[in-house]
Chains A and B, each alone.
Chain A
Amino acid sequence: MSQANADVVIRAEKISMIYPGTIALNEVDYRVYRGKVNVIIGENGAGKSTLMKILAGVQQPSKGTIYLNDEAVSFQHTRDAAAKGIGMVHQELNLFGNLTVAENIFLGREKQHGLMPLDTAEQHRVTAELMARLDQDIAPSELLSNLKVGQQQLIEIAKALADEADVLILDEPTSALSKTEVELLFKVIRDLTAQGVSIIYISHRLEELMAIGDHITILRDGHFQSEAEVKDIDVPWIVREMLGSDPVSNFLKPGREFGKPVLDVKNIKLINEMGLTLVDDVSMDVKSGEIVGVYGLMGAGRTELMECLLGLQEYSGEVEIAGHKVPAKMDTSDRIRYGICLVPEDRKKNGIFPISSVSNNMTISSLWRRLKHRFSIDDKAEAEAVTSAIGDLSIKVSSPDIEIRALSGGNQQKVVIGRTLLTSPKVLLLDEPTRGIDIGAKGDVFEMMVKLSEQGIGVLFSTSDLKEIMAVSDRILVMSGGKLTANIARSEATESALVSASAQGL
Chain B
Amino acid sequence: MKTSQNTASQQSSVFSGESLLLLALKMRTFIALFLILAFFTFMVPGFLAASSVVIMVKHIAINAFLALGITFVIITAGIDLSIGAILGFCGMVAGWLITKGIVLPMFGIAIFPSVWLVVPIVLVIGGLIGAINGILITRYNVAPFICTLGTMYIVRGASMLLSGGETFTGLSGNEQLGNTGFELIGSAKLLGLPYAIWMMFILAGVIAYIAKRTQFGRHVFAIGDNEHSAELSGVKVRSVKVWVYTISGFCAAIAGIVVSSQLVASHPATGVSFEMNAIAAVVLGGTSLAGGRGTIMGTLIGAFVIGILADGLVMMGVSEFWQMVIKGVVIILAVIIDQKQSRLQHKAAIVQQK
Contacts and interface: CB of A to CB of B under 8 A. Distances in A.
Interface stretch (A3-11, A171-179, A361-369, A441-449): A361-369
Interface in B45-69: none
A14 to B, nearest CB: 17
B2 A21 contact: no
Contacts of B231: 312, 332
B224 to A, nearest CB: 9
A333 B234 contact: yes
B347 A20 contact: yes
A353 B346 contact: no
A27 to B, nearest CB: 13
A22 B232 contact: no
Interface size class of B (residues with CB under 8 A): 35 or more
A21 B1 contact: no
B225 A355 contact: yes
Contacts of A349: 226, 228-229
Among B18, B213, B354, the one with the most A-chain Cβ atoms within 10 Å of its Cβ is B354
A423 B234 CA distance: 10
A45 interface: yes
Interface stretch (B117-125, B191-199, B214-222): B214-222
Interface in A354-398: 354-356, 360, 363-365, 367-368, 371, 375-377, 396-398
Interface in A399-452: 399, 402-403, 405-408, 419, 423
B225 A353 contact: yes
Contacts of A397: 353
A360 B293 CA distance: 13
A344 interface: yes
B222 A21 contact: no
A85 interface: no
B7 A22 contact: yes
A360 B1 CA distance: 23
A221 interface: yes
Contact of A333 (B222, B236, B353): B236
A354 B222 CA distance: 10
B345 interface: yes
B176 interface: no
Given A377-B215, A402-B349, A403-B346, A21 B226 contact: no
A357 B348 CA distance: 14
B218 A360 contact: yes
B113 to A, nearest CB: 32
Interface string A319-335: 00000000000011101
B5 interface: no
B349 A344 contact: no
> Would you list the 4 A-B pairs with minimal beta carbon distance, nearest first?
A21-B11, A406-B349, A21-B351, A333-B234
16 contacts: A20-B14, A21-B3, A21-B15, A22-B350, A310-B232, A333-B235, A352-B229, A354-B292, A355-B292, A364-B222, A364-B233, A367-B218, A368-B215, A396-B353, A398-B352, A402-B353
B337 interface: no
A360 B18 CA distance: 25
B353 A354 contact: no
B350 A406 contact: yes
B218 A377 contact: yes
Interface string A26-61: 000000000000000000010000000000000000
Given A312-B231, A352-B229, A356-B221, A21 B354 contact: yes
Contact of B225 (A21, A332, A337, A354): A354
B3 A22 contact: yes
A2 interface: no
B10 interface: yes
A19 B354 CA distance: 11
Given A355-B292, A376-B214, A405-B346, 10 more contacts: A22-B7, A23-B3, A221-B2, A337-B234, A353-B226, A356-B225, A360-B221, A364-B233, A364-B235, A396-B1
Contacts of A375: 214
B185 interface: no
A336 interface: yes
A405 B352 CA distance: 12
Contacts of A371: 215
Contact of A45 (B1, B214, B233, B352): B1
A350 interface: yes
Contacts of B234: 332-333, 335-337, 365, 423
Interface in B328-354: 342, 345-347, 349-354
Nearest to A423: B234
B128 interface: no
A64 interface: no
A342 interface: yes
Contacts, number: 121
Contacts of B2: 221
A408 B1 CA distance: 9
B272 interface: no
Interface in A194-219: none
B58 to A, nearest CB: 32
Contacts of A20: 11, 14-15, 18, 347, 351
Contacts of A368: 215
B214 A377 contact: yes
A306 to B, nearest CB: 10
B162 interface: no
B354 A22 contact: yes
Given A312-B231, A407-B353, A376 B213 contact: yes
Nearest to A405: B346
A355 B235 CA distance: 17
A22 B1 contact: yes
B230 interface: yes
A367 B228 contact: no
A150 interface: no
A353 B229 contact: yes
Nearest to B217: A377
A317 interface: no
A379 to B, nearest CB: 8
Contacts of A405: 346, 349
Looking at A23, A352, A363, A398, the one whose CB has the most chain B CB atoms below 10 A away is A23
Interface string B1-36: 111000100110011001000000000000000000
Contacts of A351: 229, 232
A335 B11 CA distance: 46
Nearest to A378: B213
Contact of B293 (A45, A310, A333, A355): A355
Contacts of A332: 231-232, 234
